Amino acid sequence: MSHKSPKDFFAPLAVGAPAPLREIPARPSRAIHFFDPSNPKMVDKIPQMVGTVDVLLGNLEDAVKADNKLAAREGLVRIAQETAGLGGHSGPTQLWTRINSLDSPWVLDDLTTLVPAIGDKLDVVMVPKVQGPADIHYVDRLLAQLEAKAGLTRPILIHAILETARGMANVEEICGASPRMQGLSLGPADLAADRKMKTTRVGGGHPGYLVREDPVGGDIAGERRTFQQDLWHYTIAKMVDACATHGIYPYYGPFGDIADVVACEDQFRNAFLLGCVGAWSLHPKQIEIANRVFSPSADDIRHARRVVAAMGDGTGAVMLDGKMEDDASLKQCLVLVELADELSR
Ligand code: GLV
Ligand code: MG
């Protein structure tokens, strides 16, 4: 994989200019585990989590009380400085942060504190409530200035949360707004509120959002089965298309009902099958679910490798187990093989 040099990243980006398609110097990540750096119970667990999860994310935004914003920021600096193997692109676990939103009084202090202190450890900055490319340009410029001042040679990447109706309308431009763009996450709670949807859950389905099967023999009074639909299908599919267009990673976001591990796994799997590479984890038990669901299964990898081998030079068609495989199905199989290879690095 060819990497852009830091010089390319630091070159000024003309506002509004589309970022070039490029390979991103970032790994896919199955679980992005959120912790509150101002919460001592959570912080105590961090050292032993390194190596067990792809990403540890120090959350500074929602779920951190206003009175704790400073403690969370300072706590994250301490954790990054004191925890071996965390962040810096080479360790087993990446270090991300979610900064406060751009319309909050805290975000400037978040960036001006974190980049000089732990910019060498910080892999990705997650930006909430992104409305359009101008928000990404703003963070990109700030990062470039702070990185240059701190003498950093490795660019900090940007991940945007898709959680406003306006952000949805501008999703393509957001993905292409900077060569730093690493990926997008769905933010179902804020997005539901902004769209005036009627679910009060954080992600997942709703028992009222269903289809009912047609009456058998016209008997509308008879028993008819109902099936719950996925509230997030359209949004995830749109996000996946925008990310694929710009060569960055799409992620399902949070699943708030920690006790409902079955529904969490279903939601994660739907997102994986639609093209997402990972999801957020709000509790250690969601890490195991995400690691499993967002890794291609051994059977799928075996089958994919058989197709790749059977397709020889990659052109034409072959029959395998009674099924037709051709150039296009080879590409489908390569998606699984390449993901498996990336995850095993
Ligand atoms: C996440 O931030 C959400 O709003 O769902
Ligand atoms: Mg949110």
Q: What is the pLDDT of residues 241-253, one digit of tens each?
A: 999 999 999 999 9
Q: How many angstroms is it from 211 CA to the middle of ligand 2?
A: 28
The answer to whether 22 and 286 have CB atoms below 8 angstroms apart is no
Q: How many angstroms is it from 145 CA to the middle of ligand 2?
A: 27
Q: Over pLDDT 70: what percentage of the chain?
A: 92
- Does ligand 1 have an atom closer than 6 angstroms to the CB of 61? no
pLDDT value at position 26?
A: 61
Q: Is the pLDDT of residue 65 over 50?
A: yes
Residues 6+ apart with CB under 8 A from 263: 204, 205, 255, 257
pLDDT value at position 345?
A: 77
Q: How many angstroms is it from 214 CA to the middle of ligand 2?
A: 38
pLDDT value at position 92?
A: 86
Q: Is the pLDDT of residue 1 over 90?
A: no
| CA-derived radius of gyration, the chain | 21
pLDDT band at residue 25 using 50, 70 and 90 as cut-offs: low
pLDDT value at position 8?
A: 47
Q: How many angstroms is it from 197 CA to the middle of ligand 2?
A: 15
Mean pLDDT for 260-282 is 97
Residues 6+ apart with CB under 8 A from 23: 1, 2, 3, 4, 247
Residue bearing the CA closest to ligand 1, atom 1: 187
Q: 98 labelled as ligand-binding? A: yes
Give the tokens for residue 11: 């070159």
Mean pLDDT for 82-93 is 87
Q: How many residues does the chain have?
A: 345
- Does ligand 1 have an atom closer than 6 angstroms to the CB of 187? yes
pLDDT band at residue 6 using 50, 70 and 90 as cut-offs: very low
Ligand number nearest CA of 188 is 1
DSSP 219-281: -TTS---EEE--TTHHHHHHHHHHHHHHT-EEE------TT-HHHHHHHHHHHHHHT--BEEE
Residue bearing the CA closest to ligand 1, atom 2: 187
Q: Is the dihedral of CA 97, 7, 26, 152 positive or negative?
A: negative
pLDDT value at position 171?
A: 98
Residues 6+ apart with CB under 8 A from 192: 199
pLDDT value at position 221?
A: 79
Mean pLDDT for 172-195 is 97
Name the DSSP class of 50. Answer: B
Mean pLDDT score of the chain: 92
- Does ligand 1 have an atom closer than 6 angstroms to the CB of 189? yes
pLDDT band at residue 177 using 50, 70 and 90 as cut-offs: very high
- Among 64, 191, 282, the mutation site with the greatest number of ligand 1 atoms within 8 A of its Cβ is 191
Decide: helix, strand or coil at residue 128.
coil
pLDDT value at position 219?
A: 77
Q: How many angstroms is it from 225 CA to the middle of ligand 1?
A: 32
Q: Over pLDDT 90: what percentage of the chain?
A: 86
Rounded to two decimals, what is the model's pTM?
A: 0.91
